Structure 1
């Protein structure tokens, strides 16, 4: 989370080339702030109606809405689409989106945190990486290494600096003093590192991985350079499968033969477990000595 998927989608539908082609038929539908368990077919239809400037009561005459949206060239953005596949009505919701995807006049753009939970109709995936350093440097130079060029973290820090009117030296001092606090600037995923990380960790498909996966996350977070795949494999029988699943959810990633994570995610996890138990520390010690050898 916080990598910039929503911002990129909004930039696309406001791009001059897209605006010229689709004119006023550019619609953005977000399900980001909704609890996936509460999303119903009716809510999906209503949000699409309102995004298109239609009366929400038209959900009862859905054929008319579909005819309107597919009647001319249209671009429809579904933000946080993975929430739709986690609903109790996932199949019926998917059919709604499938109807648009099958239309030659509709371009469908979805943002999602996980390839595994993307609706089945997707034809092309585009991974969104962290900012190129030359662009991120325009915002902050000396803090980039601390947050791995993570767009949300850079944005939150910029807002905090503007609110407090900090000088560069004061900002660096605040970062060194309490990094976790500096990455909180209100509620919601656009203002809080905690909120966006917990949104990923609380996804049903991540929770289903169980306690071993959460423990694995905390272990990987302890090693800034990542953990060798052979060390991960030795932890427990499901460790590699869990690590790969966490990569698929963009919580961790693989660099060569090592599993690692972005610095902001590591910061969040270390802040959540400030006093690890003896068993955890013994595991870390053994892995550390193994890495040294």
Structure 2
């Protein structure tokens, strides 16, 4: 049975249009990527039920949730089950033969990241993907060995403000103060999952109560149950525990430090701060590949508000790491004080302006 089409869907019209255009190719292979809670599955479900897709594939549309599979063989057998094939120890050839001998099918593999991330199983999964089609997975990196249809889809970004407001209003109705709604949205950085959870809470408790409780509970306010679609903390923790993050533990340390830096860090800051982290640019690459961090329009490495809140509560940065950054920022301010009014101070002024909130937070930490 196919999952239902989402009733609330705002702000992904451009991505939807891009995906539908990719279906103009004979055998589209499409990856919908993005951070946990960014709406990848919802977008895939909208595609699944779009009139163009139903007209093209009719009953040959399949949606496979991959979370229960732990090996390539289990994944193949799970696909076979959705295709209605007789159970067998290894259905690989049977699945491929079925797809080749029947009318064109749309096969969506949802939440594939847990299977693809481990290096031990990655090669086999990529070989299988090269023969199949659409996937959704958390992260920002396309699996290799697959001839993905071009142009690639950009990893899903937070919703724009208008789409975020519409999403909130569809869930919590429109009788709330716009100022309070915008305050709540600012806590989410317009991450769809966080918007949905807080809007449902506001619908029953009111915006004022939600804002008051957030000051005390942060992300734990919307983190109940064992389903990551209704538990923000669980969704974030799944990303943090990915094999790649485990393989590069210093990436976790950098992420924890970024949790107290709303301004993010530019590459020049990462390098010149001389943080006690080996290969810090590799750490940056890992964080971006897992979509736990992103580069903004100014190429500063940042972390979304809900993830920052979670980290500050559960995995705050070590004192040693913050002290290293504090020393760097203090030297920057000292340099400006010594050379203010000279040409050499202009670039320092720009760097200070780019780090104003960071400086404030780090100084408050040191008090």
- TM-score, normalization: structure 2? 0.69
Shift of 1:89: 4.1
Which residue of structure 2 lines up, in the alignment, with residue 183 of structure 1? Answer: 222
The answer to which of 111-120 and 220-229 deviates more is 111-120
3-state SS of 2:134 partner:
strand
- Contact 2:73-2:92 at 8 Å conserved across structures: no
User: How much is the aligned-residue C-alpha RMSD, in angstroms?
Assistant: 2.4
Give matches, 1:27-46, under 5 Å: 27-32=62-67, 39-46=70-77
Distance 2:124 2:285 in 1: 29
Aligned pair partner of 1:224 in 252, 255, 262: 262
- Contact 1:3-1:150 at 8 Å conserved across structures: yes
Which residue of structure 2 lines up, in the alignment, with residue 118 of structure 1? Answer: 143
- Aligned pair 1:204/2:243, yes or no? yes
Shift of 1:178: 2.0
CA separation of 1:61 and 1:144: change in aligned 2, threshold 3 A: closer
Distance 1:72 1:59 in 2: 25
Shift of 1:117: 5.9
Instruction: Identify unmatched segments of 5+ residues in structure 1.
Output: 101-107
Distance 2:206 2:314 in 1: 29
3-state SS of 2:285 partner:
helix
CA separation of 1:134 and 1:270: change in aligned 2, threshold 3 A: same
Distance 2:207 2:239 in 1: 32
- Aligned pair 1:134/2:162, yes or no? yes
- Contact 1:185-1:192 at 8 Å conserved across structures: yes
Instruction: Identify unmatched segments of 5+ residues in structure 2.
Output: 1-35, 169-180, 337-367
Distance 1:263 1:291 in 2: 26
- Contact 2:76-2:91 at 8 Å conserved across structures: no
CA separation of 1:93 and 1:241: change in aligned 2, threshold 3 A: closer
Distance 1:204 1:285 in 2: 31
Distance 1:263 1:149 in 2: 9
- Aligned pair 1:11/2:46, yes or no? yes
Distance 2:264 2:68 in 1: 32
Give matches, 1:1-293, under 5 Å: 1-32=36-67, 39-55=70-86, 57-58=87-88, 60=90, 62-70=92-100, 71-86=102-117, 88-100=120-132, 108-116=133-141, 118-121=143-146, 122-124=148-150, 125-126=152-153, 127-140=155-168, 141-142=181-182, 143-162=184-203, 165-210=204-249, 212-233=250-271, 234-235=274-275, 236-255=277-296, 256-273=298-315, 277-289=318-330
Distance 1:253 1:60 in 2: 39
Q: How many residues align?
A: 277
- TM-score, normalization: structure 1? 0.84
Distance 1:265 1:206 in 2: 15
CA separation of 1:58 and 1:220: change in aligned 2, threshold 3 A: same
The answer to which of 6-15 and 67-76 deviates more is 67-76
Which residue of structure 1 lines up, in the alignment, with residue 346 of structure 2? Answer: none
Shift of 1:67: 2.5
